[in-house]
A and B are shown apart, each in its own frame.
Chain A
């Protein structure tokens, strides 16, 4: 279980907080989607859950503890960070070994998770040669290393091919049905509508909605419900029908 209580993060004093007094609970046994416009605070929220950003106020707990107080972080929480969180000069296998060795996880487990995500053949190639989709698969492999009860996935379908998208959808559902806690962020509404059981909508760092997916989709498609909810809070609106003057 993940709980956030009055989570607040301000990067610059002049601008509004990136995350503003955000409280929610992510329960085990279902896939919870975290959605919101660009710059709404999804990634910052996830970084605070993972102990990478220190909140200015409030706290985020995983299984009742702050991430940085966990005894065995990799065995408790699996994180799919953005695909760039790797040194491109290392092979996928070496990258995972560097993480695994901190928890006494053996090379066999490394090879197992590489096979699960479909990277067995490319395991010894340097990550520099990987496509975005392959890097996402590597991120999922890293998250699965410690067989954790909680999974946090930041935009995991970015760059994945259709087969990969369907695979990760099934993977998240399987993980949730095993009783794990799954929190996934995305800005793809169709993806969320197909994957999530429960949805958290945030805008400008605040919670706009916290409800089962079915509640959103009773009267209208999820995308319409989402756009209505976030109409007033999107910071980066496009100008439809306009092209830059030549």
Chain B
């Protein structure tokens, strides 16, 4: 029989548990495989399509072409799966009742949420960067035949690839925040989808007054961050610094709102 002494759970224990939880579920592998596979495949097809039509493209189309952004285009689709990974890390605990076992082992709810954020955010960032660099490498290899490829040493290129990976990591944290806030998988994924896509239409409805909502959109921020040469003269997209601020804002909002709700009774 033991008593209340010895090594307690603490933050390290919570992190170890969250790592093990992700590793021991098939859904983790499926979600991440889907995320990376769609990102790679659609990036490759987009790049191949551009390379194929280069000869017949107009001068304006050629001027718009961004070899880096094109090779990373697939993650506009794959990013949803990164978000879903985060959603599931929180919502599946409530949906299945697992949360009660989790919180009896580590009653410090703030520590559990922080551990989830660290593990989900860290995995999302690592995998996001790996995926972005892989897609970039493949894309440039394909474009090299037309001599359209960019190199990481050119201005803005390394920043674009790193930011693309960062964006995917942020999506995982945003998903975690939504999952913790809403506690239902379907509802949280719906909110994630709304944030990623239809929010675009909502922001546009304000355009006769202000472009601020456009500038606050994650998708518009990604457009700027993941291209070597940010599009010019487009009032809808934010500047580079503002786009980075967007990522920080969404991360902070997801963590604050998620932590607030997670600390309430399950």
> Which residues in chain B, 90-149, are within 8 Å of chain A measured between CB atoms?
92-93, 96-108
| Inter-chain contact B24/A68, CB cutoff 8 Å | no
A42 nearest CB across to chain B (Å): 15
Q: Which of B7-36 contact A (CB under 8 A)?
A: 7-9, 13-14, 16-17, 20-21, 24-27
A142: chain B residues within 8 A (beta carbon): 101
- Chain B residue numbers with a CB within 8 Å of A50 are 100, 104
- Given known A-B contacts A53-B265, A86-B97, A75 and B13 have beta carbons under 8 A apart: no
Complex CA gap A95/B105 in Å reads 12
A89 and B107 contacting across the interface, CB-CB below 8 Å: no
Complex CA–CA separation, A135 to B7 (angstroms):
28
State which size class the interface on A falls in: 35 or more
Contacts of A87 in B (CB 8 A): 21, 25, 92-93, 96, 98
List of B residues within 8 angstroms of A214 by Cβ:
none
| Chain A residues in 8 Å Cβ range of B1 | 147-149, 178-180
Question: Are B107 and A79 closer than 8 Å at their CB atoms?
Answer: no
Return the contact of B105 from the options A54, A94, A102 (Cβ within 8 A).
Answer: A102
Is the C-beta of B6 less than 8 angstroms from some C-beta in chain A? Answer: yes
Known: A63-B3, A147-B1. A102 touches B97 (CB 8 A): no
B4 close to chain A: CB less than 8 A: yes
Closest to A103 in B: B9
Name, among B14, B103, B266, the residue most crowded by chain A CB atoms within 10 Å (CB to CB): B103
Binding site for A on B (CB under 8 A): 1-9, 13-14, 16-17, 20-21, 24-27, 92-93, 96-108, 265-266
Question: Could you jot down 29 A-B contacts, CB within 8 Å?
Answer: A50-B100, A52-B100, A52-B104, A63-B4, A67-B104, A68-B108, A71-B4, A71-B6, A72-B2, A73-B104, A75-B6, A76-B2, A77-B104, A81-B100, A85-B97, A85-B100, A86-B101, A87-B21, A87-B98, A97-B24, A98-B24, A98-B102, A102-B105, A102-B106, A103-B7, A103-B105, A104-B6, A146-B2, A149-B2
